[in-house]
Amino acid sequence: MRVLGIEGTAWAASAAYFDTETGDVFIDSDPYQPESGGIHPREAAEHMAGALPTVIERALSEADSVDAVAFSRGPGLGPCLRIVASAARALAQSLDVPLVGANHMVAHLEIGRHRSGFSNPVCLNASGANAHVLGYHNGRYQVLGETMDTGVGNALDKFARHLEWSHPGGPKIEERARGGEYIDLPYVVKGMDFSFSGIMSAAKDAVDSSERIEDVCFSLQETVFAMLAEVSERALSLTGSDELVLGGGVGQNARLREMLAEMCEARGASFYAPEPRFLRDNAGMIAVLGATMADAGDILEIDESRVDSNFRPDQVDVTWRGAESVSRPMNEEHEVIGAEAVVELDEDVRKRRRPKTYRHPALDARLRRERTASEARLTSLARRAGVPTPAIRDIDLREGTLVFEHVGEADLSADLTPERVRELGRHLATLHDAGVVHGDPTPRNARVSDRRLYCIDFGLGYHTDEIEDYAMDLHVFERSLAGTAADFEACVGAFEAGYCEVGDRAVIDQLRAIEGRGRYR
């Protein structure tokens, strides 16, 4: 099959030609370069209208014939998307070939899967307008975690604009970071979700307070990319996957790729980052995904080809894949490698937060110390509040080691039923009533026996009286269910019902508000 792909979600007018028989992908792109500041939607659309005919003509010059036309339906800037869609419709009609509409973010994932040969990887998408971790489950690419405010590339660009650097800012930050030293900046991970607004404000303040720009750029990269690597490892741990692919323009950063590769090597996982031409916005990934979709019969009628600037990857019915799932069953072993620690299971449980070599040593030491202390304190507090938790036998903050009573027979992930999930909902409501957020409630962080369900792993927990924080706890758990539960709807219903039996219904209302804030929704 031979497919012409057209991309134009934001700043890059791009066309590509892909031949499935040879595997060759020709890409021609003309990126929009604003004179100052960030991307201006009107100027970007004007650039798209002027550049698109030329890049399409160049791609067609490489084509012996065309069997389908694929285009990016979203997410992206509405004016740019509409220009691309109009061009794709006209071309498909003139060539009398099928029209395929691709989700831009799914294309980032699929190009990594296609080029790596991985069967069912977790994907970290690190792009300008987004940052999220995806895994295939129940016929869709589920969002296991994502930014709750701004995309990682946009966050870096905002910092660059504060320094009056031109777009894109990421490469300029990467260049200046090479001469920097580490300074502390905020680090915000909530389960597998993360936030960049606080660190960007702190970075701007640091520059305004006369910190060396090289030091701030270095620390910004070290902190932001460590957050992305950590949530990627959490997704690998949650699902049991041993494959990770990277997508998105920020993935061109050498330090990010280095961190992810080092993290994967330490846990025995495989890592793949496509070559840079497939990481930045490009029509090659649209053409490759378009060929896959067309082969599966996933084509559009002309009157059904409307664009969607808020087109989320978890809204896409993945018709070209079967019933497999990124989530894999895990056996109870003597030693378990989690996202943060190695856990040795014996009569007692010894949990040691090993140094993460991908993180800067100062940042790593801080996180290990803070999380070990938090876990010990909140485990005991939860137990006193009436939530079943293991008793603590010993603690060593310097080594990041805790020794617990061995509770339960397996993780909740091995017995993920509505009845069990309902019980966890009651436990979280009890925690919240005591002013405690668990921080990382997933099926891997609860233990089950015949008679009880225990909450474990409070390392990301904290004290609060904010309803928003309680709702985020529920959001983290329901996101993890989306990527692991066989009967997601039944489990979610039981979880929220259990929570409301003990807790405040207003937390559920706030959860709905959080869900509506997801990127591109």
Q: Which residues are annotated as a binding site for ATP?
A: 335-343, 351
CA separation, residue 30 to residues 86, 305, 380, 391 (Å): 18, 24, 58, 61
CA–CA gap between residue 173 and residue 171 (Å, rounded): 5
CA–CA gap between residue 223 and residue 147 (Å, rounded): 15
CA–CA gap between residue 272 and residue 116 (Å, rounded): 6
Neighbours of 276 (CB within 10 A): 11
CA–CA gap between residue 397 and residue 352 (Å, rounded): 10
Q: Is 440 a catalytic residue?
A: yes
**Structural tokens at position 407:** 């509770």
Q: Which of 89, 14, 15, 300 lies closest to 3 in space, CA to CA? A: 15
CB 514 within 8 A of CB 195: no
Catalytic residue among 67, 193, 364, 440: 440
Q: Which of 222, 147, 223 lies closest to 191 in space, CA to CA? A: 147
**b/e map 310-324, b = 16+ CB within 10 Å:** ebbbbbbebeeeeee
CA–CA gap between residue 65 and residue 388 (Å, rounded): 65
**b/e map 333-357, b = 16+ CB within 10 Å:** eeebbbbbbebeeeeebbbbbeebe
Summarize the annotated binding site as residue ranges.
104, 108, 125-129, 157, 170, 174, 253, 281, 335-343, 351
Summarize the annotated binding site for Fe cation as residue ranges.
104, 108, 281
Residue 221, CB half-sphere, CA atoms under 13 Å: how many?
A: 30
Summarize the annotated binding site for L-threonylcarbamoyladenylate as residue ranges.
125-129, 157, 170, 174, 253
Give the end-to-end CA distance of the chain in Å, rounded to a whole number: 34
Residues with a catalytic annotation lie at: 440
